[in-house]
Each structure stands twice: as C-alpha cells, then as structure tokens.
Amino acid sequence: GVDTAMQALLCRRPRAALRRLPPATRAYLAAGQQQVAPSGARAKIAAWIVGGSPLYTEVIARQGFDAVVVDQQHGTGEVVPLLQAIDAARDAAGNAPLAVVRIEELSDGAIAKALDAGAAALICPMINSVEECEAFVRATKFPPAGHRSYGPHRAALGWEGSRGDWTRASNTCVQSFAMLETRGALEDLDAILSVDGLSGIFVGPNDLGLALGHDPTDSPEGEVLEAVRHALRLAHAHGRQAAIFCADPATARRMADEGFDLVVAGIDLGWAASGAASALAGVRGAS
C-alpha cells in the first residue's frame, strides 16, 4: 500500500507543501485534501466552463474560485488545454482551483481520458440507477478497487515514486460525483448514495425539472425544489457531499444557504455576454 509518509503527503499536508511538485502531480495530491466542503463549512464556489478558450478559462480561474468545472457534455473545448489553463492560474502560494470535469457520458473511455488529462474530480451526467453509479465509480479506480486502465500521461507528470504507488494515490484522491437529474436517479437515490467510493452527488436542476414534468430551470421552485432539498438531506445523511448547478450568483447564494457543499456561480459564456452587453449599454447610455 501507500506508505505512511506518502499518505501524509497525499491527504494531510498543507497545500503550500505541494509547491515543489509538478503541476499535474499537484492537482492529484491536492484533490485528496480539497474535499468539496467539510460539514458545516461555507459552500465552495465553482465556475462552469462551456467555451473552448484556454485564455478565458485561465482568466476566470484566477478570480479566486474554489473549483472550475470543464463541461465536456455540452461544452465546446478540448479537455487538456482547459485543464492546463486552470493549473496555470496557480497563485503565489502554489494554490489553484480544484480542476473538475463533467464527462460527456458514462463510458470507461470518457472517464479515463479526463483523469489521464489531470482532472482531480469527475461529474458523471445522466446516472439513472445504482448499477450505473457503481460502474462510474469503478471506472475511476485502478484494480483491485475498479477497472481503470493505466495510462496517466499528463496526470502523472513528475511523479517520482513507483507506478503502483501512483495508482494507489489516484484511487485515494480522485473524487467522483454522480449527477442527479433523472426520475430514476431520484427514486434510486438512497442506493446510489450507498455506493462505496462515491464522493457525492451533483444536482442538475434543468434536467431534473424536465424529468419531473416541469420546464427546465436554473432556479428550482415547488416540486423541483422539494426534490433538491430531499437529495441534499439524503446526501448528508449518507456522509456524502452535495453540489448543485446554478446559473447566477443569487441562486448560488440561495442554494448555499440551503446547505449545499458546492454551488456553481455561473457560466463563462454567460459572463462574457453580460459583460459585453454591459459595456455596450454603458457607452450608448453615455452618448
């Protein structure tokens, strides 16, 4: 197994102690200690990236977010340049936002590609059952805990230990979040949250609203809000983390007040559009 000294490095030492390590290695090691939020702590705040610009991603990552999510399901960018951009946002103390990838689908290939590229946490969309959740978690871990194939070309850059120690480190530190956005997942949620190795759930209110017979919404109300609250309570009862997508700061604050451990504060393209519109209106209004 991973020896005591390495285990301490992986999950207990302050992030500043990781500065000597190469960027991709630091991302993996920091993941074990950057749990989304301990119970009772303030909610972590994430940015959501759907555009394909590494430069714009780096600019956003430098604003102080706790995490940056690269969306490969509905996004347009390539995963490696965007993860490199997040890592480039490391501050003077050696800290960078947690690099998260929402994979495009539940498949061993999509999971391995994101993890091999250096993602510290994964979000898997459209989990419908406990069986799918088990398959997701197994694909994030090397044997004997799972069946992930070995090939961490970027993620293990600079690792000076053995390959076996690296696989055990990855199994310890990579975080996995199953998206709650279907009726099947809602009905099977207690079993899903019991899956060994799952870090938590990530609520997708738009698809969850559609699944419950409502219009998609970024600001859940009524039956959808009750489902969201039920999921939050159940996640915490199982000792799991609960995260949620929000498209604007007001909704993010509201969900943080509800008790979510991580909230998304908005989308990169939305910020670009609102900033451009505000600049244009400011000039026109002054003329």
- pLDDT digits (tens), the chain, 287 positions: 334 333 333 333 333 334 444 454 455 445 444 455 544 568 999 999 999 999 999 999 999 999 999 999 999 999 999 999 999 998 877 788 999 999 999 999 999 999 999 999 999 999 999 999 999 999 999 999 999 999 998 988 888 888 999 999 999 999 999 999 999 999 999 999 999 999 999 999 999 999 999 999 878 899 999 999 999 999 999 999 999 999 999 999 999 999 999 999 999 999 999 999 999 999 998 65
Question: pLDDT at position 157, please?
Answer: 84
Question: pLDDT at position 92, please?
Answer: 76
Tokens of 181: 């956005």
Q: Which residues contact 189 (CB under 8 A, 6 or more apart)?
A: 180, 201, 230, 231, 234
Question: pLDDT at position 153, please?
Answer: 87
DSSP letter at 18 equals G
Q: Find the catalytic residue in 74, 147, 153, 230.
A: 74
Q: What is the pTM of this model?
A: 0.86
Nearest 5°: the CA angle 168, 171, 172 is 90
Question: pLDDT at position 195, please?
Answer: 97
Question: pLDDT at position 10, please?
Answer: 39
Label residue 100 left, alpha or beta by phi (over 0 means left) and psi (-120 to 50 means alpha): beta
Give the helix, strand, coil percentages of the chain, each rounded to 5: 45, 15, 40
Is position 74 annotated as part of the catalytic site? yes
- Rounded to an integer, what distance in angstroms lies between the CA atom of residue 235 and that of residue 259? 11
Q: Which residues contact 219 (CB under 8 A, 6 or more apart)?
A: 205, 246, 247, 248, 250, 251, 254
Indicate the length of the chain as a whole number.
287
- Rounded to an integer, what distance in angstroms lies between the CA atom of residue 142 and that of residue 10? 17
